[in-house]
Chain A
Amino acid sequence: MRIAVPPWLLYTLLGSLLVVALYLAVAVGRAPLALLDTLQAAIGGEDNVATLVLTELRLPRALLGLLVGASLGLCGAALQGLLHNPLAEPGIIGVSGCAALGAVLAFYTGMAAAIPLALPAAGVLGAFIAVALVYALAGRQASTLAIILAGVALNAAAGAMTALVLNLAESPFAFLEIIFWQMGSLADRSWAHVGVALPFMLLGWVLILSVRRDLAALSLGEETAASLGVNLSWVRFAVIAGSAAAVGSAVAVSGVIGFVGLVVPHLLRPLVGYDPGRLLPASALAGAVLVLFADVAVRLVPTGVELKLGVLTALIGAPFFLYLIFRLRRELT
């Protein structure tokens, strides 16, 4: 089913949704802020409680939500383009889990306290190993079964080792923090987190977006794409390294937030004519919108401890995943 949506309309729509989401992300919170007044005061350089909450708590959280959501949406679309498979998603294929393991190792050994960039770097390294492994195991022939199985194995291994590291960590609080790492959250993040993750995310985005037309050509298969002038090795590297950089750093500062990279590209594909290249920037935008709205929602649910973001995305994403498997089951065997 194709819905002919001209690009300008699609991006205007997504852009407007993003603006609304950003507004809500900055306006919703425990402290009752008069948003416009506070914004004015902040710009004017005033320093009071309201501007403090706005500039040190709400703004970094909103911006991080945008960055993380965009990274997850973009990488989901890119991996699906490379692996020719609509089920490839950083969480499902084990990339996020391995990124979390890397981040946990850097954080609880104190490395990240000594060298702040070590945190996202470790996440990127973990993510890279995962993507490279999945590609090596199942990339060329891209059998769905192989990809999903690789993901299951990686997630199991990474999850177990993460729990082990947390158990062995010196702090008595470490073990319970597995909830943060495996379910993800944007609460109480600061500009420092934005700062360390941003360079890697930007690098990832640049790498991936640079090969978007190549991914479109790749729809015709590797041989035809090569005959059209696509540099296959570079495309593989750009998508693998780019996804690792963006997802790895995102997970390092916000934990594993799953299913964004599955739901967003799938919903947008009919709107971009199934073109894997056009899907990339649209998925980035829509991913940002989704994560921001979800982050607002967790602040509105009246639980004692704030609901974890990954719980919400999983509540939406897991049934969606099941639905996809059901619809594609004939092609999956």
Chain B
Amino acid sequence: MFFSDLRLRCLAAWLCRLGLCLLVSCHAAAAPERVVSLNLCTDELLLQLGDHKQIAGLSWLARDANLTWHSAEAMLFPAVRGVAEEIIRLEPDLVLAGEFTTPATVALLERLEIPLLRLPLARSFSEIADQIHQVADALGQGARGREMLADMRLRLDALGDGGGTITAALFQPNGQTATTGSLLHEVMTRAGLHNLAADWPQFAPLPLETLVYREPQLLVLSRHGAHVSLATELLEHPVLRGRLDRIEIPAQAWTCGTINTVRAVEILHGAAREGRPET
């Protein structure tokens, strides 16, 4: 029974892809009931947009409270590590994955003709909007998706145009910073901050000397939990203390590009407007 259901759904999906949605109503294909997500970001989207009864499995990262605000909720579902066997045992009718999911696993899923939706890392709010739309549709939760998009638009519009008068720089563990074309850069810009490190090469760490020398008025920090490491020790360097106003953004807000990222913009916007640091 399950098998014929699956076949039917695959057929409908395939026909939709052929552009025959006009002839075959895609909505007639029932919403997926066993969705497995292999990636933290797709986990969050799934938890935000899907019903609990639709979720068959989430990645193990979703249980880490340092990475996501949905960790408590994620505990209700089986944790998956990405091994193909594990996934197949859950009998998914839709798999959500990221662009870096193991190619071998992806290939196997495709061979078994299990519907797979791959989402790259969102690099801008418009991409976030696209992904919300895509996932909502795939889950048959179109209404919820539109609601979320409207909320996002509302909150972002409420912030207005910051004006970019306050200079800031982002400093993450290991000196990672926000560069032009990245989501974090857009977050800062929408919050009304002028990102001093925008010109820095992507993925290259920002040296402390350069950071200090550019004299940002606001230092935006983001940790990943309280665990000790040289990477996080760098954020405590004496040269950063005292002179610079700092604000810390919880990692859960922007590890992934979702509706939660708007919270990061709101926090920064608040700090920029008041011109005072928030702890």
Contacts and interface: CB of A to CB of B under 8 A. Distances in A.
User: Do A and B belong to a common assembly?
Assistant: yes
B132 to A, nearest CB: 27
Nearest to B231: A173
Contact of B224 (A112, A113, A172): A172
Contacts of B229: 108, 169, 171, 173-174, 177
A190 B237 contact: yes
Interface stretch (A50-58, A219-227, A285-293): A50-58
Q: Pick the most buried of B224, B227, B232, B243: most chain A CB atoms within 10 A of its CB.
A: B227
Contacts of A169: 227-229
Q: Interface residue tally of chain A, by bracket?
A: 20 to 34
A57 B239 contact: yes
A173 B173 contact: yes
Nearest to B239: A56
A287 to B, nearest CB: 24
B151 interface: no
B213 interface: yes
A326 B121 CA distance: 54
B212 A190 contact: no
Contacts of A171: 224-225, 227-229, 231-232
A173 B239 contact: no
A30 B239 CA distance: 15
A109 B228 CA distance: 8
Interface in B137-193: 173-174
B238 A56 contact: yes
Given A56-B239, A304-B201, A30 B209 contact: yes
B201 to A, nearest CB: 7
Contacts of B225: 170-171
Contacts of A187: 207
Nearest to A29: B209
Which DSSP category, helix, strand, loop or mixed, fits chain A's interface?
A: loop
A177 B213 contact: no
Contacts of A30: 207, 209-210, 213
Contact of A173 (B174, B215, B237): B174
Interface in B204-260: 204-205, 207-210, 212-213, 215, 224-225, 227-232, 234, 237-239, 243
A31 B208 CA distance: 9
Contacts of A306: 207
A136 B213 CA distance: 52
A188 interface: yes
A316 interface: no
B212 A31 contact: yes
B237 A31 contact: no
Nearest to B213: A31
30 contacts: A30-B213, A32-B213, A47-B243, A49-B212, A52-B212, A52-B239, A53-B212, A53-B239, A56-B237, A57-B239, A107-B230, A108-B229, A112-B228, A169-B228, A170-B228, A171-B224, A171-B225, A171-B228, A171-B232, A172-B224, A173-B174, A173-B224, A173-B232, A174-B227, A174-B229, A177-B231, A192-B238, A304-B201, A305-B205, A306-B207
Interface of A: 29-32, 47, 49-50, 52-53, 56-57, 107-110, 112-113, 169-174, 177, 180, 187-188, 190-192, 304-306
Given A30-B209, A49-B215, 8 more contacts: A47-B243, A56-B237, A57-B212, A113-B228, A171-B229, A173-B229, A177-B230, A188-B234
A-B CB proximity, top 7 nearest: A171-B227, A31-B213, A171-B229, A56-B239, A173-B231, A170-B227, A173-B229
